A and B are shown apart, each in its own frame.
Chain A
Amino acid sequence: MSGLLNGLIVLFAVSGLFFMLVAAIGVYRMPDVYTRMHAATKASTIGISGIAMAALFYFADTATTTRVILIILFFFLTAPVGAHALASAAYVINAPLWPQTRRFDLNKARILCPIRGGAASQQLATTAIELARQGQGALTFLHVINHNGSGAAAEPTQATDTLNDLRTLGQKALVVAQEQAQAQGITAQTEIRLGDLEQAIVQCVQEVDATLVVLGFPERDQATQQKMAEDEFWALAKAIQTQTGVQVQAIR
């Protein structure tokens, strides 16, 4: 037997043994059944392949090679199937997860939907509710009172009155949207904010940890106004996206 062949045998056997050892330590030490399965399945597949390859180079004839390839192929085919069956069994019997397991379900969206109120908002709310239903996600409606205090009224009391009116209107719009969501079986949260629209949305996105912002695309009667509103809209959408990194979706 040549030195190279001996070296290959030792290399494969040692690496195979290493992985088998890792798999066994994983089965022994991992905190819950799913992590144990992950150790047992993957590491031991590689481990058995290494040891079988060592046997291949040790005997180095056709009959053995066939058997070794069969063993390796067999493990690569059956280990995932067996692990899948065991995992689904563990799931059925509610095997406890490791307490520090962090669930991160990509399809569970947290949608933030700023609404103005009125007919256009109803359409927007319908779309947002549909999105939340599809993604089995949470939905938050936000109304921002875009007040610029000095210009609205001369006297402070009058300004407060206007603000209160706006707040009532906003709350009404939010309640309408919430009821609309309730009718679809979605429990929506509502938020009402004072101040700059963009800042309020960005702040709210961070507070509810939103994954998607749904914005209503503006519709104006006159073409010039439409152009302006659209420009404003896209600037807002871009600002939200760059500041929070959250996807913004325009709804017509």
Chain B
Amino acid sequence: MNNLTHWLLDSAMLLLAITIILCVIRLWRGPTIADRAVALDQITVEVVAIVVLYSMRVDDPVFLDAALVVALIGFLSTLAFARYIERGAQA
């Protein structure tokens, strides 16, 4: 792989890291627990994107499986979070 592609992928991952910081600020501020859940969900999606970019960066498609697993965990945790919020409101 040429250096240009490496440079592009590196900067792409950096950009995604910055977007994660934006989401962390939202996670910090809230104001409701649902906002925090949304921010967390968004962070997992961005982590998946970073893993996909990383698999290109190191030229190893095996990381795509890791991306799939992170996506799965993210989805399940979002569902669990949503259920927890609903139950907590009822209790």
Do A and B come from the same complex?
yes
Q: Which residues of A contact B (CB under 8 A)?
A: 6, 9-10, 13, 16-17, 20-21, 23-25, 27-28, 33, 36-37, 40, 44, 47-48, 51-52, 54-55, 58-59, 61, 63-64, 67-68, 70-71, 74-75, 78, 81-82, 85-86, 88-90, 92-93, 95-96
The answer to the question of B3 belonging to the interface, with a C-beta cut-off of 8 Å to chain A, is no
Q: Are A85 and B83 within 8 A (Cβ)? A: yes
Q: Are A67 and B86 within 8 A (Cβ)? A: no
Q: Which residues of B (26-43) have their CB < 8 Å from a CB of A? A: 26, 32-35, 37-39, 41-42
The complex places the Cα of A159 from the Cα of B12 at a distance, in Å, of 85
Q: Are A36 and B49 within 8 A (Cβ)? A: no
Q: Are B16 and A17 within 8 A (Cβ)? A: yes
Q: Are B56 and A55 within 8 A (Cβ)? A: yes
Q: Are B26 and A27 within 8 A (Cβ)? A: yes
Give the residues in chain B near A75, CB-CB below 8 Å: 45, 71
Using A13-B12, A86-B34 as known contacts, say yes or no to A6 and B52 having CB atoms under 8 A apart.
Answer: no
Task: Sort chain B's interface into a size bin.
Answer: 35 or more
Give the residues in chain B near A47, CB-CB below 8 Å: 45, 49
Q: Are A55 and B64 within 8 A (Cβ)? A: yes
A selection of 24 A-B contacts at a CB cut-off of 8 Å is A9-B5, A10-B8, A13-B8, A20-B45, A20-B46, A23-B45, A24-B19, A24-B46, A27-B26, A28-B25, A33-B35, A44-B42, A44-B45, A44-B46, A48-B48, A55-B53, A55-B56, A59-B56, A71-B64, A82-B41, A85-B78, A85-B79, A89-B86, A92-B90
Q: Are B39 and A92 within 8 A (Cβ)? A: no
